[in-house]
Copies of this chain bind each other. A is one copy, B any other.
Amino acid sequence: MRFPSSLSSHSTQLVKKRTRMKVFAFVLIFCVSFISTTTSFEAKQQDPELPQCLHLCKQQQAYSETEKRECREMCKKESGDENPYVFEEKHFSTVMKSDHGEVQILQRFNHSLLKGIENFRLSVLVGNPRAFFSPAHWDAETVIFVAQGKGSISLVRPEKRESINIKCGDILHIPSGTTVYLINRDDNEKLIIIKLLHPVSTPGVVETFFGVGKESFFKAFSGELLEAAFKTQCSRVEKMFEGAGDSILEASEEQIRALSHHEEGGIWPFSESKGTINLFEQKPLKSNDYGELREVSPKEHRQLQDINIALAFINVTKGGMENPFYNSKSINIGVVNRGAGYLEMACPHLSSHSSSGGAPISYRKVNAHVKQGTVYIVPPDHPVIIVASKDQNLELVVFQINARDNKRFSLAGKNNIWKQLEKEAKELAFGRPSREVDQVAGKEDEDWFMKGPSQIPQDGAYIRMRTE
């Protein structure tokens, strides 16, 4: 699994330029609006302002190549020719990093179409073999999924510590504010953990608090207070909490052994604990030659109830596809765990025809080629099709926000909803004998997963209006 990296310096730069860019964009849009009302432009499939905006970007002599690229991105965003549902490596930034691992966080979901998940954040932790992540706590309810490797995690609570071995497929809910430390207990394999964070303090903002390390929060306190709190000379307190400096360190083999002596798979030392759940050990909800779907839901697992999140693991066999379907209530955040594929979604919000004017609603295609590390969003009720590539299985980890009472509606395949219509309803809606409808809607025998298309469409990750 490749993860976003070396992007941090760029991000900082970007922030500095934002104000300047905004002013520019405003002027630009204003100019372009003026031009577009006075000239006739022939582009049919996209916003007519876009090419002109791009042209203006090109002409800015004073711009560096980076600034020109940012200008182009701004154009695409302003013209609506953007895909707010797909995130790549470049949308992550580094929270912490050392030679032994790193933690990255996906940008905020602050697009107007992502309001339903604006108070969630996605983060990925990568620990090299024998990495030790120093104790820290953070202000968010957290659900973790172990995407790769073997580790041992310790949750320090006011009254006790819980330590547990974790392995690939494990799910764990960590309450906000728990002090946590973690090791990768393997000598060779990386440990990869995907975290969904639900901040409890400031919506969409997660703050991490390190007591130990060169930036320990104890440094913010006055010496007099530290001296009183620890009955120890201030300089000695400070020196101790500076600790080993970094927050991601390397443990020795002996230390790993000592920190891994816990029972496997959810045997917790204290009665109140609810243990981990392993997603791979769930009975598949759907399974055939073309794919498999497993799920862990708040209905069965108490530790997911308050946060109301389900997790699904979907493995689409190479050459296969998931049937067109929609979720009734939950917003899904999918992460490609392994492999590659392609997705298409029908999206009314992005339609060029406004639905408010009485004109018929039309749906725009949102599509993306996805690969390991891609994050995608599927809003509730949006029909979506997910296809594996021809040569690799597509493995997806899906966080389902607002999971309680969510249902998946199948739009094709063995158990599709069209089959449930009464004969007369089929005749009326489809305007033809119901037997003709049955011929098409009833042809596919497979349930949920099915043989994929002979060819995957080639256009890119941006939205294209379909030519008809």
Spell out A's residues near B (CB within 8 Å).
8-9, 11-12, 15, 93-97, 105, 112-113, 115-116, 132, 134-135, 137-139, 154, 156-158, 160-161, 163, 175-179, 181, 200-203, 205, 207-215, 217-222, 224-225, 227-232, 236-237, 240-241, 243-245, 249, 251, 254-255, 258-259, 321, 323-324, 326-329, 331, 344-349, 354-365, 367, 379-383, 385, 387, 402, 405, 407-413, 415, 417-418, 420-425, 427-432, 436-437, 439-441, 443-444, 450-457, 466, 468
**A209 neighbours in B (Cβ, 8 Å):** 326, 346, 348, 363, 381-383
Q: Are B381 and A220 in contact (CB under 8 A)?
A: no
The binding surface of chain A is classed by DSSP as mixed
Are A93 and B221 closer than 8 Å at their CB atoms? no
A427 to B444, CA, bound (A): 61
**Is there contact, CB below 8 Å, between B177 and A329?**
yes
**What residues of B have a CB within 8 angstroms of the CB of A355 in the complex?**
95, 207-208
Docked complex Cα distance between A251 and B427 (Å): 10
Q: A437 CA to B455 CA in the complex, in Å?
A: 62
| CB of A343, distance to nearest CB on chain B (Å) | 10
Q: A163-B422, A381-B201 are in contact. Are A212 and B329 (CB under 8 A)?
A: no
Instruction: Give the nearest-CB partner of A328 in chain B.
Output: B177
Q: Is the pair B420, A177 in contact by a Cβ cutoff of 8 Å?
A: no
Knowing A113-B202, A451-B228 are in contact, say whether A466-B219 is a contact too (CB < 8 A): yes
Q: Is A259 a contact partner of B324 (Cβ separation < 8 A)?
A: no
Does B451 contact A420, Cβ atoms closer than 8 Å?
no
- Extra A-B contacts (5), CB below 8 Å, given A177-B327, A232-B443: A12-B358, A175-B328, A177-B326, A217-B348, A222-B367
A157 to B417: give the CA distance in the assembly, Å: 7
**A359–B468 alpha-carbon span in the complex (Å):** 50
Q: A139 contacts B420, CB within 8 Å? A: no
Partner of A410, one of B158, B328, B380: B158
Q: Contacts A255-B427, A405-B175, A410-B158: A363 and B417 contacting too (C-beta < 8 A)?
A: no
What's the minimum C-beta distance from A449 to chain B, rounded to whole angstroms? 11
Residue in B221, B408, B421, B439 whose beta carbon sits within 8 Å of that of A365 in the complex: B221
Check if B428 sits within 8 Å of A251, measured CB to CB.
Answer: yes
- Residues of chain B within 8 A (CB-CB) of A255 are 424, 427-428
Q: Contacts A9-B358, A203-B115 known; A363 to B225 CB distance under 8 Å?
A: no
B409:A158 contact, CB within 8 angstroms: yes
**Nearest-CB distance from A25 to chain B (Å)?**
16
The reply to whether B177 and A412 contact each other, CB–CB distance below 8 Å, is no
Within the assembled complex, what's the spacing in Å between the Cα atoms of A154 and B422? 9
- Nearest-CB residue, chain B, relative to A353: B215
Residue in A157, A387, A409 whose Cβ sees the most chain B Cβ within 10 Å: A409
**Number of copies of chain A assembled together:** 3
A135 touches B9 (CB 8 A): no
A369 to chain B minimum Cβ distance, whole angstroms, is: 13
Q: Is B224 touching A176 in the complex (CB atoms < 8 A)?
A: no
- Residue in B134, B214, B423, B425 whose beta carbon sits within 8 Å of that of A428 in the complex: B134
Residues in B with CB closer than 8 Å to A207 are: 348-349, 355, 361, 381
A93 & B358 in contact (Cβ 8 Å cutoff): yes
Residues of B near A402 (CB, < 8 A) are: 200
**Pairs of residues from A and B, 7 with the lowest C-beta to C-beta distance, nearest first:** A177-B328, A8-B358, A244-B431, A12-B357, A220-B346, A94-B358, A224-B453
Q: Are A326 and B428 in contact (CB under 8 A)?
A: no
Shortest A468–chain B CB gap in Å is 7
Q: List 12 A-B contacts (CB under 8 A).
A: A12-B357, A93-B357, A95-B358, A157-B409, A176-B381, A177-B326, A213-B360, A217-B383, A228-B321, A229-B324, A230-B443, A231-B443
Expressed in whole angstroms, the Cα–Cα distance for A347 and B211 within the complex equals: 13
- When distances are taken between beta carbons in the complex, the residues of chain B under 8 Å from A214 are 360
* Beta-carbon contact of B229 and A450 below 8 Å: yes
B427–A177 CB distance below 8 A: no
Q: Determine which of B362, B382, B428, B454 lies in contact with A215 in the assembled complex, contact meaning CB atoms within 8 Å.
A: B362
A200: chain B residues at CB < 8 Å are 116, 329, 380-381, 402
Task: Report A437 CB to chain B, min CB distance, Å.
Answer: 7
Given known contacts A176-B381, A228-B453, A381-B137, is B422 in contact with A363 (CB within 8 Å)? no
B177 & A428 in contact (Cβ 8 Å cutoff):
no
Cβ–Cβ contact B243 & A413, under 8 A: no
Q: Would A228 and B450 be within 8 Å (CB), given that A240-B430, A380-B139, A383-B209 are in contact?
A: yes
